[in-house]
Amino acid sequence: MNSQFQKFVSYYKPYRGLFCMTMLCALIATAASLLFPLCSRYITGILSAGNEENMIRKLLVTGAVMVLLLMVQLLCGSFVDYRGHAMGAMMERDMRNELFEHLQKLSFRFYDDNKTGQLMPRITSDLLNLTELYHHGPEDIILYFIRFIVTFLILLHINAKLTLTVFAFLPVLALFTFVFNHKLKTAARLSYQRIADINAQVEDTLSGIRVVQSFANEELEVQKFKDENNRYMESRKTIYRNEAVLYQGITTATQLIIITLILLSAVSIMNEAMNLADLITFLLYINYLIEPIQQLTRVAAQYQEGLASFERFMEIMDLEPDIRDQKDALVLDQVRGELEFRKVTFRYKEELEPVLKEISLKIEAGEFVALVGISGVGKTTLCSLIPRFYEASEGEIFIDGMRTDRISLQSLRRNIGVVQQEVYLFAGTVLENIRYGKPEASREEIMEAAKKANAHEFIMELPRGYDTDIGQRGVKLSGGQKQRISIARVFVKNPPILILDEATSSLDNESEKVIQSSLEALAKNRTTIVIAHRLSTIQNADRILILQDGRIIEEGSHEQLMELDGTYANLYRI
């Protein structure tokens, strides 16, 4: 908890000057407001004395002082409201940037276990709550404390007996507030989890809307959403119920305090233990005494929501990436592309059976190797270990004689190009998506890469050519067009090591033949690993590896494996 508090406070550091100015203005505004009842007491005293000498002048001077205090309060309050909220928004921005940057470092394993829809609120609504907490938290605590203490001392000076009687209510009120604050915190955490579930449901359904509509399952999805929405509503009702009890309890207590005050004051005046000026001053100051108590509900709700948001923020920030650079990480330079696996075993979780079992394999620089096997045998997993999307459970992987876990992730992945079976294109233009392979690439380089990927022709037929917006995930393009853009993205990257995971799976036969020659040209003089189900596309491979039960059971060229008449030959005939 101490480390979390230090982390919470650390976000004030870049804005120390602004924070100090905000707190100073808030203190001045509070001091000005505390002087108003004393001015009222002074005026009442003048009127009660009945001495008209200089009365008008004194009233005018006091009125001028009150107007001056009002202007000071207005200016300082405006600064606090504007600049204080701006400070909170800037801190929220910093936290959002830090969280997003941290999410980029987490490995595939993290995203295998977490839904995108559940992560979204942590970047958006959770941090929005923290803006108010960062701005109002210290301000409310410090100012209400000062106002409470100063008011208590003034009232004690006016009438000690009456003041202590009022204070007798406060311990009970404090205990009541503490109990319901705890309930609010628990309810707030549950509510955040429920809204995360709603986001996950929405993200899942809308991403798969074509599947939903093709199966006519709109009603099923609506019902699933209603169930999640009802669960969220119930969690909010719990918050509102506790807030209602807390608010009504505090309101009732404050009314009891005022009733007690009025009755005791009346008795004191009757007994001449208190004059009218003191009573008016007491009544004015009692508002300053009660206001912090009345604001406990708002402050408590704000604090609990902000604290729950910060805890959820820290849950992610405290996650150490399971794949990261070593302190003395090497940088790959002038890569030849020699790959070697030494007794590599991999399992997704410790309790699961290994997907790969003691794989030992050497791929020479510039060699064209194909991986073949039934679905789920570990072909994609084997390739994912090379750029360290996952870390091997046992064994070692080398590139040009260097262990991959000793190479910086940036330089390792910069030298590996991957064309995945499931193409992902970003919202934006064709140009932006191809340039993703090399952010500094010129328009000419991008067009040349598109030509090599057999994409230039169809791109030029689009409404705005390379500047055409392709929609979310490239929804405006066909499957084959998306695949060719993803291949062009690797062409422009021009890496020494290529991984092609069913790279032509979305193409029709004619396009596949054309692009196959492009892929072969791309593969020339660089290490290439191809995952293929269409065995006709890999007959020219230098070596074909057959995977079964997590092991390599056959390897050789197409001709050698056909002569062997084993698993590969059976697959080829099928």
Domains assigned to the chain: 9-317 (1.20.1560.10), 339-573 (3.40.50.300)
DSSP 469: B
Residue-wise pLDDT for 139-148, tens only, equals 777 887 888 8
- List for the chain the helix, strand, coil content (%; round to 5): 65, 10, 25
The average pLDDT across 87-93 equals: 89
Confidence of residue 155 (pLDDT cuts 50, 70, 90): confident
Residue-wise pLDDT for 511-530, tens only, equals 667 667 667 767 777 899 99
Between helix 296-317 and helix 116-123 the angle, nearest 10°, is 130
Question: Which runs of E-coded beta strand occur in 14-112?
Answer: none
Contact at 8 Å (CB) between 337 and 365? yes
CA-to-CA dists, residue 518 to 145, 261, 368, 453, 538, angstroms: 73, 90, 14, 6, 14
Give the pLDDT confidence score for residue 210 in this predicted structure: 66
As a whole number of angstroms, the distance between CA 3 and CA 10 comes to: 10
Confidence of residue 554 (pLDDT cuts 50, 70, 90): very high
Contact at 8 Å (CB) between 263 and 166? no
Give the pLDDT confidence score for residue 355 in this predicted structure: 92
Helix (H) or strand (E) holding 497: strand 497-501
Confidence of residue 109 (pLDDT cuts 50, 70, 90): confident
Residue 562 has pLDDT above 80, yes or no: yes
Residue 312 has pLDDT above 70, yes or no: yes
Residue-wise pLDDT for 344-368, tens only, equals 999 988 888 899 999 999 999 999 9
Residue-wise pLDDT for 423-453, tens only, equals 888 888 999 999 988 889 999 999 999 988 8
Q: Name the residue type at position 499.
A: I
Give residue 503's Cα distance to chain centre: 32
**pTM: predicted TM-score of the whole model, two decimal places:** 0.75
Residues 6+ apart with CB under 8 A from 88: 130, 131, 132, 133, 134, 135, 136
Residues 6+ apart with CB under 8 A from 495: 414, 415, 416, 417, 526
Percentage with pLDDT > 90 across the chain: 25
Residue 504 has pLDDT above 70, yes or no: no
The average pLDDT across 19-30 equals: 91
Confidence of residue 296 (pLDDT cuts 50, 70, 90): low
Percentage with pLDDT > 70 across the chain: 94
**More confident of the two residues 313 and 503:** 313
DSSP 503: T
**More confident of the two residues 536 and 461:** 461
Contact at 8 Å (CB) between 277 and 44? yes
- β-strand 497-501 against 527-531: which pairing, if any? parallel
Mean confidence (pLDDT) of the chain: 84
Closest CA to 39 of 258, 277, 274: 277
Q: Which residues of 218-256 are buried (b: 16+ CB within 10 A; e: fewer)?
A: eeebeeeeeebbebbeebbebbeebbebbbebbeebbee
**More confident of the two residues 259 and 402:** 402
DSSP 262: H
Classified as helix, coil or strand, 350 is: coil
Give the pLDDT confidence score for residue 254 in this predicted structure: 76
Contact at 8 Å (CB) between 9 and 57? no
Classified as helix, coil or strand, 500 is: strand
The residue whose two tokens read 């009842």 is: 37
Give the pLDDT confidence score for residue 8 in this predicted structure: 87
Ramachandran angles phi, psi of 397, nearest 5°: -125, 135
As a whole number of angstroms, the distance between CA 486 and CA 417 comes to: 11
Residue 132 has pLDDT above 70, yes or no: yes
Give the pLDDT confidence score for residue 491 in this predicted structure: 87
Of 103-117, 207-221, 285-299, 334-348, give the lowest mean pLDDT range.
285-299
Residue-wise pLDDT for 256-271, tens only, equals 877 887 788 778 778 7
Q: Name the residue type at position 426.
A: F
Give the pLDDT confidence score for residue 53 in this predicted structure: 65
Confidence of residue 185 (pLDDT cuts 50, 70, 90): confident
Give residue 315's Cα distance to chain centre: 11
The order of strands in the sheet holding 368-372 is 416-419, 497-501, 527-531, 368-372, 543-548, 551-556
Give the pLDDT confidence score for residue 400 in this predicted structure: 92
Confidence of residue 120 (pLDDT cuts 50, 70, 90): confident
As a whole number of angstroms, the distance between CA 77 and CA 25 comes to: 7
**More confident of the two residues 54 and 403:** 403
Helix (H) or strand (E) holding 342: strand 339-346
Residue-wise pLDDT for 77-86, tens only, equals 899 888 988 8
